[in-house]
Amino acid sequence: MSHRNEQPRVIVVGTRQSALALTQTGQVIDQLKALSEQHGLPYTFEIRKIVTKGDRILDVTLSKVGGKGLFVKEIEQALFDKEIDLAVHSMKDMPYELPDGLMNGATPKRVDPRDCIITANGFTFSDLPEGAKVGTSSLRRSSQLKNARPDLQIESIRGNIDSRIKKLESEGFDAIVLAAAGLHRMSWESKISSYLPEDLCVPAVGQGALGIECRTEDAQVRHLLSLLNDPLTALTVSAERSFLGALNGGCQIPIGAHATIVETAENGETCLLELTGIVGSPDGGILLKETLRGQDPIALGLQTAEALKARGADRILAEVRG
């Protein structure tokens, strides 16, 4: 079926070493293998593990470590050095701006974007007892949960999802908050006690989606990755990331956004998007939320950010950044 005359090539895939990173990278490689076969591309795949700064620093709140892209810098260097040819990231850990020479080659279909809680006693969120101790290091999550339930005692919990689940019991949390997507990819859905609906907790920008970074000049990898791209996911993620960029955000500040497709035109060329964005104070005292609709994802992200700025979002964010 080959319409080109491709030479055999080993494509090296970089990944962080966490169980989730390895699992989602493995899943993407399986999909790329199937697509290569289907399209007659003579590619084989190899995994290279990379340790990032975010993996090494585990004892401080991430917003204090500072710097965007804590989990991606070493990976990007490996791409530039051609030690690897592509890297699978959780979209929510990908910085807003990629360096010159690198690009997001594909946004595969998103899985469940919601946050969920795992509790020691199988409680749902509304069952949590007065003053319950809830583990999360995300300012976005603490802001929204404290806003709904000022009595909760939010405490920092770091580490990969597997070590956080262990800490639920060993450190006496009543509940921990995690992205459902990571648990689904690990086939750990059965650990989920309940999902947090979006009117309670708007997810992180890009949550549940992946991004696949590659070199802009690598036409073969770009062609292969284009086969894995899901255009509707790419549209919603681009609205969310436009919102994040307009607020100069990273993943360690209290910002959340989620876009959905409301309507697609028959020809599939235009569609109507709805974007909900929030900015909150970490203690939950202030929580600003806007929902807007539009066709152009970039414009929609900017407009939603402007609407929040008009209500004081910049002041909240300046305070968090210190």
Ligand X SMILES: NCc1[nH]cc(CCC(=O)O)c1CC(=O)O
Task: Answer yes or no whether residue 208 interacts with ligand X by CB under 6 A.
Answer: yes
Task: Answer yes or no whether residue 134 interacts with ligand X by CB under 6 A.
Answer: no
Q: 122-127, long-range: CB within 8 Å, 24+ apart, which pairs?
A: 122/193, 123/174, 123/175, 123/193, 123/194, 124/193, 124/194, 125/149, 125/175, 125/194, 125/196, 125/200
* One of 179, 237, 253, 279 touching ligand X (CB under 6 A): 179
Which lies closer to ligand X via its Cβ, residue 212 or residue 292?
212
Which lies closer to ligand X via its Cβ, residue 90 or residue 104?
90
Distance, CA of 19 to CA of 9 (rounded, Å): 27
Task: Answer yes or no whether residue 313 interacts with ligand X by CB under 6 A.
Answer: no
Give me the catalytic one of 85, 93, 112, 174: 93
**How many positions of this chain bind ligand X (CB under 6 A)?**
10
Which lies closer to ligand X via its Cβ, residue 175 or residue 179?
179
| Torsion from C-alpha of 68, 72, 77, 81, nearest 10 degrees | -150
Task: Answer yes or no whether residue 174 interacts with ligand X by CB under 6 A.
Answer: no
Backbone φ and ψ of 110, nearest 5°: -75, 145
Task: Answer yes or no whether residue 253 interacts with ligand X by CB under 6 A.
Answer: no
* One of 69, 135, 182, 211 touching ligand X (CB under 6 A): 182
Q: Would residue 93 show up in a list of annotated catalytic residues for this protein?
A: yes
Task: Answer yes or no whether residue 154 interacts with ligand X by CB under 6 A.
Answer: no
Task: Answer yes or no whether residue 95 interacts with ligand X by CB under 6 A.
Answer: no
The residue among 58, 91, 85 whose CA lies nearest residue 72 is 91
Q: Residue 1: helix, strand or coil by DSSP?
A: coil
What letter represents residue 80's amino acid? F
Task: Answer yes or no whether residue 201 interacts with ligand X by CB under 6 A.
Answer: no
Stretch that binds ligand X, among 88-96, 145-153, 269-277, 280-288 (CB under 6 A): 88-96
Task: Answer yes or no whether residue 161 interacts with ligand X by CB under 6 A.
Answer: yes
**Beta strands per DSSP E along 50-123:** 86-90, 102-106, 115-119
8 Å CB contact between 278 and 288: yes
> Interface residues for ligand X in 220-249 (CB under 6 A)?
none
DSSP state letter for 8:
P
Residue 28 contacts by C-beta under 8 Å, 6 or more apart in sequence? 13, 88, 108, 210, 212, 228
* One of 92, 140, 146, 289 touching ligand X (CB under 6 A): 92
Binding mask 25-64 for ligand X (x = CB under 6 A): ----------------------------------------
Q: Give the strand pairing for 271-280 and 255-264.
A: antiparallel
Q: Kindly list the residues in this chain that would bind ligand X in the complex (CB under 6 A).
A: 90, 92-93, 161, 178-179, 181-182, 207-208
- The residues carrying an active-site annotation are 93
